[in-house]
Structure 1
Amino acid sequence: MAEHEDERRHWDYHYDEIGTAPGTLVIEEDASPPELTLIDYTASSAIRRELKTPEDCKPFLKSHSISWIDFQGLGNEPMLRHLGEVFKLHPLVLEDVVNVPQRPKVEYYDDQLVIIARMVMPKPSEAGNEAGFINEQVSFVLGPNYLLTVQEELDIDCFDPVRNRIRFNQGTIRAQGADYLAYTLLDTIMDAYFPVLEDYGELIESLEDEVIFNPTRQTVQRIYQVRRDLMGLRRSIWPQRNAISTLIRDSSDLIRPEVKVYLQDCYDHAVQVLDIVETYRELTANLMDVYLSSVSNRMNEVMKTLTVISSIFIPLTFIVGVYGMNFNPQVSPWNMPELDAYWGYPICWAVMIAIALGLTTYFWRKGWFESLSRSLPER
């Protein structure tokens, strides 16, 4: 139950309580303590260091290098408010960053661009676990020469490849600006959806075999859980696609035209992810229909089997019922001569066996037994 409540909290968007003042911060009780990391780089050098307070970020906000400030963990409200003061964040921006989850979106504030995104990653594989994923909100605050990212949890992200590209000067990332860094992180977030979808694709294939050959009540529960997860992914990727489209379409001095070309590729990835999610949702809907049809067919075959057995024994029951009425032929005006016949009992058995064999032969020639044998599931 607690696990389902935690999933619901991550996928239901945040709504303020009635009458809450704008800019009110709501910190979850289980929020991780924050850590602040700086990666500052130019085309020729790069440094990475741990910062103790947001105040340590000030020298890098107006430097000529590109600074990536990564704030992980939302468990310290005074530190978050100090972060908002250092970066001059609008109170509504700080509210969107802290009060998670928010709907993915893009907002413009003077010399800052705010991007809210959703990041998903596969859950660590454990024996017996179904496909699943970890999801969290990542907030971007893009400035002229810096990028602030705020994450919900510690050490749970998909940005290590980007960090390594900066560290080892791979590609052109260190020769680009902060807008290219923001694109790179967004593109990494979109790429992280594909391993999650691959896990669900394999799970759906296994569910198809289970639905056909061995459907159980647990099968319905697993199909429902997959549909629920896919609905959550759709609710995440749909507004995220629109947010990326907004970055491409709108004019902003913080994003150069050459970076918008790369964002178009990121948008294509979002469309591809959305197409896969929609396809999987249709497959799970079809699986539910197949399950119901399979259960109905199994019930029909059971009823057919019972009908065949009943059809064979009904005439036999009629015969023994007639001769089981125990009328005394000496008292009744109607005589049952078979009761006094010497071979009456074996003749009765012979007639009943003949009727049973005759009906069995008739049903066999009609193909009923063959259809019953075909309907049995392979184990």
Structure 2
Amino acid sequence: MSKHKNKKRYKKSGLAPGSVIYTGDKSSKKLFIEVFDYNSEQCIDKELNNIEDIFDFKHSDSMSWINLNGLNHVNEIEKLGNHFNLHPLVLEDIVSISQRPKIDEYDDYLFVVLKMLYHDKEENIISEQISFILGKNYVLSFQEADGDVFDAVRDRIRQGKGRVRTMQADYLLYILMDAIVDQYFSIIETLGDKIEDYETRIFLGDVDESINKDIQDLKREVLRVRRAIFPLREVINRIEKHESPLILKKTKTYYRDIYDHLIQVTENIDIYREMIWSLMDMYMTTISNKMNEVMKVLTIMASIFIPLTFIAGIYGMNFDYIPELHYKYSYFILWGVMILLFVGMLIYFKRKKWL
């Protein structure tokens, strides 16, 4: 399976820069296009069938959010890029899903890449690349497949809640990024619950052979989430400092709020990394304690039977003249001495708290 992933990742080797090659696996998805075109008075929400239907929204007087699902449709994406004058390297990065979160500045638009994280039905963390193009009066978003975290944003636009219908495209980009970052809190909350569950199990001694693998998987999961989130701080920082007519000064305050949230998220992730290392230490300590308990029991049993074996060895020797050998009560006396030794040693170990 790892070989298959490597082929997907490096199948662009040797191609010219700007080659628009989809590097993901979800190649059976149909192209889905949705448009929200709105102003303070009204909102048009519709699905489009052809990529050409998007072109009219570029010079619209209203604000437009154009969302495309299906990065495998590279021909349509290239048509869209040609109409919106997108750089070939931007188109290449849009369909190459292994991009690091980043922001690129161009003359009349900004290109932003980040990772959208969410849970599937089995509570596994799904990481999906999403790309944004911020223009003067529009935001283009590109997703690999159906399913996202923008339902609340759609409702706000349809119902005119908040400021979104009265603000510019930079605010639209903000609320879309904010929805993604808010989902990060749900992700790290789930990770925190898993860590606490493992911590409780280990503390109570409820460990088996599988828990070591589970902790290793959890560690890899935390590292994957960190790689997806940590670079986004630099992206938001650059947006704040960027002197561009596309980002209004009053909107930068909202982006600063995203930055504060990212600081909180990354701090929690770093804490969870330390907690996972502590889990490994707790697990190894628990295993050592269990081994020590076993060794303690074996040592105590050996200590008890050493004097009994010594007595049995003495009276098991083949000498004719042993003083107690022909005494008729010797057998019972010997049993009594051995039982007294056994009970006495148990009492001694108990007082020493070795039992």
Q: 1:217 to 1:306 in 2, by over 3 A?
A: same
Give the one of 81, 88, 96 matched to 2:78: 81
Shift of 1:231: 0.5
CA contact (8 A) 2:170 2:248 kept: yes
Give the one of 109, 112, 116 matched to 1:115: 112
Give the one of 343, 349, 352 matched to 2:329: 343
Give the aligned partner of residue 372 of structure 1. none
Shift of 1:16: 6.6
Give the aligned partner of residue 56 of structure 2. 59
The CA distance in 2 between the partners of 1:54 and 1:17, in whole Å, is: 25
SS at match of 2:247: coil
Check if 1:210 corresponds to 2:201: yes
CA contact (8 A) 2:12 2:21 kept: no
Give unpaired runs (5+ residues) of structure 2. Answer: none
Give the aligned partner of residue 169 of structure 1. 160
Give the aligned partner of residue 101 of structure 2. 104
CA contact (8 A) 2:26 2:144 kept: no
SS at match of 1:192: helix
Shift of 1:14: 5.5
Give the one of 245, 251, 257 matched to 1:253: 245
CA contact (8 A) 1:210 1:219 kept: no
Shift of 1:328: 4.7
Aligned pairs for 1:2-13 within 5 A: none
Aligned pairs for 1:17-96 within 5 A: 17-27=12-22, 28-31=24-27, 32-96=29-93
Give the aligned partner of residue 192 of structure 2. 201
SS at match of 1:245: helix
The CA distance in 1 between the partners of 2:13 and 2:233, in whole Å, is: 30
The CA distance in 1 between the partners of 2:25 and 2:116, in whole Å, is: 22
Give unpaired runs (5+ residues) of structure 1. Answer: 330-334, 370-379
Aligned pairs for 1:174-185 within 5 A: 174-185=165-176
Shift of 1:112: 1.1
- Shifted more, 20-29 versus 142-151: the winner is 20-29
The CA distance in 2 between the partners of 1:34 and 1:5, in whole Å, is: 28
SS at match of 2:324: helix
Shift of 1:264: 0.4
SS at match of 1:311: helix
Shift of 1:79: 1.6
Check if 1:244 corresponds to 2:244: no
Give the aligned partner of residue 286 of structure 2. 294
TM-score when normalising by structure 2: 0.94
TM-score when normalising by structure 1: 0.88
Identity of aligned residues (%): 41
Give the aligned partner of residue 320 of structure 1. 312
CA contact (8 A) 2:72 2:95 kept: no
- Shifted more, 131-140 versus 272-281: the winner is 131-140
The CA distance in 1 between the partners of 2:226 and 2:18, in whole Å, is: 28
Shift of 1:323: 2.3
Aligned pairs for 1:228-239 within 5 A: 228-239=220-231
For these two proteins, the number of residue pairs brought into alignment is: 351
- Shifted more, 307-316 versus 360-369: the winner is 360-369
The CA distance in 2 between the partners of 1:5 and 1:179, in whole Å, is: 41
The CA distance in 1 between the partners of 2:310 and 2:275, in whole Å, is: 51
Q: 1:15 to 1:179 in 2, by over 3 A?
A: farther
The CA distance in 2 between the partners of 1:200 and 1:290, in whole Å, is: 18
Could you say what the CA RMSD is over the residues aligned between the two structures, in angstroms?
1.9
